[in-house]
Structure 1
Amino acid sequence: MQSTATPTTFSRTNPFHAKVLKNVNLNGAGSNKETRHLELSLQGSGLSFVPGDCLGIVPENDPELVAAILEEMKWDPELPVPVSKQGDTLPLKEALAKHFEITLLTKKLAQQAAAMTDNEQLQQLVSGDNIKEYVEGRDLLDLLRDFGPWKASAQDMVAILRKMPPRLYSIASSFAAHPDEVHLTIGAVRYTTHGRERKGVCSVLCAERLHEGDLLPVFIQTNKHFNLPESKDKDIIMVGPGTGIAPFRSFIEERAVSKAAGRAWLFFGDQHAATDFLYQNELEGYQKDGVLTKIDAAFSRDSEQKVYVQHKMLENGKELFAWLQNGAYFYVCGDKQYMAKDVHEALLSVIEQEGAMTRDAAEAYLKDMQEQGRYQRDVY
């Protein structure tokens, strides 16, 4: 008798538990950074992706942070608390670890919490404009410590928490090159603020607590606005400093497998050449094989004057503009706040200078590239 069971489709609401095949630090000894290269098995998942897509990870909170919250409130870790509208429950400790967002404070959360305490300071904060400033860089533990005593039960408190959102990362491998795997490039986020050390929920899980053989709940998130050109003859220019290299590793692997005829130029940047040139051997191998035409790397801490990717673009302005005139696609991946703005500015300057255009004409040229899908950004 034939089985009529339909194959499971894995998705954001039903993630696939991928086995960790490899988890290594890409940075050399003495680096200020820790960038993990993660290889996960997709065997049996039926999942596939194209270069430019993202992988969603459903992370778990830091057990130390969960323990500190339980300790602060003297809550029973085994107390069942509701985690869904359907009335599903989990023990409090597990709910805080796996289900709720506890590292991010919002104005709304502070306002709802204010109803659960007589603390005047919190009442004043939520009624004024300073609440925005307070929630910035603080978490649930700060709120609980700063504004007790609380009149709320554990159930009351978790009822106002948001569900933990998945974290999205650009995929760093090509499905054609590694059909049953997905690779990621994740920078561990650690910093100190308001007197406590803070850790990125997912990045530090990957850096400190995820080992080979462990399972990680994942799903594929398509990215319609960041893709290789349909024609393999087109040239591509990729600007990806730091972990921004991730999707470009996928692009390069894909072009190697498909034997694309178009040229490829990578701008990469980080702090020190000796410790922070991510995937250096691989990239130089691709250059030797002709898959990568050019690599321009900028290391900001290796010289007195800080050199960034945008400086390398300006240095190569003439050739860069010639590539654009020839129909090249231009991609940027990485930090939205500073890098992407600086790269955009540099690109405008190159078009303006090398194309002998006014600023307005250069902006129109870039807008035209955008409309043709030849200027794509994956910034976060």
Structure 2
Amino acid sequence: MVETKPEQTGASITYSRMNPFQARVIENFNLNKAGSNKETRHIVLSLAGSGLSYEAGDCLGIVPKNDPKLVATIIEEMDWDGESVVTINKQGELLSLKEALTSYFEITLLNKKIVQQAAELTDNEEIMNLVLIENVQMLKEYMDGRDFLDLLRDFGPWKASAQELVSLLRKMPPRLYSIASSLTANPDEVHLTIGAVRYTAHGRERNGVCSVLCSERLNIGDTLPVFVQKNKHFNLPESADTDIIMVGPGTGIAPFRAFIQERAAQNASGRSWLFFGDRHAATDFLYQDDFGTYQEEGALTKLDTAFSRDSDHKVYVQHKISENSKELFQWLENGAYFYVCGDKQYMAKDVHNTLIEVIAKEGNMSTEQAEAYLNDLQKQKRYQRDVY
């Protein structure tokens, strides 16, 4: 990786997105139990000596490295010399081809610009047809689930050098994860909850760059380049007396573990209600022991769970919200904040629509009035979402 010198401020060093801190791995284990078809890593990193601080609700950025097997396959496929030197940016910085593909470039995603520019480096008629303006939908379908290796394999022979081809690529963007710990409760530490992404597309097995690095190649004592990303739109109420309702299925649980830890450390008097969901209670109840302890100690007032594959009909968090509609509306009327974290495509929409139904039913309102009520909660920052 290109070395960046941390900014010196007096005697201290400021770590940031541009100058990430090398955080040492203290713990890394699978939260899912044997028999689960999911893998969710609980990772504890040391921030000792970094000067970094965070609040519950913030994110941690990780600058990952690509899978060495994928890098080796690209080099072998193109018959390139991995030790040859390439220029990686406009500043003229140099790296070996292997290191550039491992640490600097994004190689697992394609975009329109990459494919369009690649079309100029080959006589392949298929790619020339793909980048025509009228075939924009076809191009979109091609890029979905494909990567740099697919591009190189599909549209050769290439009349371009390794330098010209890697120059098509963009710099590796950092991956952001909701922090799963309270700094008050865990000084000098940051905890993460990362689901390993693995799937098959177009005849090849694919891996999430950062999630599978954390699951397969990150050992205790290793370091990860990290920085704190503030999240001003997702945080606890100013008053510890205020009630909070949290909806976080799957890895969406992460910030709420941080919220509850923070509330426990504060001895907060405000009540807390957590909705958690996943596939099977026996194997996928993330942080079950933690939340059991928080319930016993009073830091977690109510816990409702939805395990979608444990019954004949699928039960999700929105169903549990509906079941508790009367009490939930009372909490909202009493000033509670409502939080949602996790899947944007389905879960967050379903929870949003269910919330409108609950408000309409229990508040004796029309759908339009319930939507206005929810919009008002949002303006008061009492309805906050961190969805992806």
TM-score (norm 1): 0.99
- Give the alignment partner of residue 19 of structure 1, picking from 12, 24, 28: 24
Structure 1: gaps spanning 5 or more residues: none
Q: Say which of 210, 222, 227 aligns to 1:214.
A: 222
Partner SS for 1:67: helix
User: 1:41 aligned to 2:46?
Assistant: yes
Moved over 6 A (4+): none
**1:74-89 alignment runs, 5 A limit:** 74-89=79-94
Residue 174 of structure 1: aligned partner: 182
Are 1:253 and 2:254 matched, yes or no?
Answer: no
RMSD of aligned Cα (Å): 0.9
Residue 55 of structure 1 corresponds to which residue in structure 2? 60
Letter in 1 for 2:277: G
Match of 2:72 in 1: 67
2:195 corresponding residue in structure 1? 187
Check if 1:122 corresponds to 2:127. Answer: yes
Which residue is equivalent to 2:15?
A: 10
1:329 maps to which of 301, 317, 337 = 337
- The Cα shift of 1:140 comes to 0.3
Residue identity matched to 2:126? Q
Counterparts of 1:365 and 1:210, CA distance in 2: 46
Equivalent AA in structure 2 for residue 176 of structure 1:
T
**Structure 2 SS opposite 1:336:** coil
Partner secondary structure for residue 8 of structure 1: strand
Quote the residue 1:135 is aligned against: 143
How far 1:158 moved relative to its partner?
A: 1.2
- 1:152-193: per-residue Cα shift (whole Å, max 9, x none)? 101001111100000000000000001100000000000001
Match status 1:150 vs 2:155 = no
Does the alignment pair 1:376 with 2:384? yes
Q: Cα deviations across residues 277-310 of structure 1 (Å, max 9, x unaligned)?
A: 0000010110011110000000000001000000
Partner of 1:315: 323
- Output the amino acid matched with 2:249: P
For residues 287 and 305 of structure 1, the distance between their equivalents in structure 2, rounded to whole angstroms, comes to 28
Q: Offset of 1:85 from its aligned partner?
A: 1.5
| Letter matched to residue 27 of structure 2 | K
Q: Aligned partners of 1:197 and 1:20: how far apart in 2?
A: 27
Q: Which residue number in structure 1 is paired with residue 5 of structure 2?
A: none
Specify which of 242, 251, 275 is matched with residue 250 of structure 2.
Answer: 242
- Residue matched to 1:339: 347
Give the letter for the 1:153 counterpart.
Answer: S
Amino acid corresponding to residue 324 of structure 2 in structure 1: N
Q: CA deviation at 1:84?
A: 2.2
Give how far 1:6 is off. 3.2
Cα displacement (A) at 1:107: 1.1
Structure 2 counterpart of 1:246, one-letter code: A
Residue 269 (str. 1) matches residue 280 (str. 2): no
Deviation, 1:5, is 4.5
Q: 1:229 aligns with which of 215, 237, 242?
A: 237
CA deviation profile, 1:171-228 (whole Å, cap 9, x unmatched): 0000000110000000000000100000000000000000000000000000000000
Q: What's the counterpart of residue 115 of structure 2? A: 110
Aligned-partner residue type, residue 336 of structure 1: K
SS at match of 2:361: helix
For residue 90 of structure 1, what is the aligned residue in structure 2? 95
Q: CA deviation at 1:4?
A: 8.8
CA distance in 1, matches of 2:169, 2:274: 43
Matched, 1:161 2:166: no
Partner SS, residue 339 of structure 2: strand
Residue type at the aligned position of 1:116: L
Q: 2:295 aligns with which of 287, 293, 299?
A: 287
Q: Deviations over 1:229-263 (max 9, x none)?
A: 00000000000000000000000000000011000
Share of identical aligned residues, percent? 71
Note the residue ranges of structure 2 that are not aligned, 5 or more in a row: 1-7
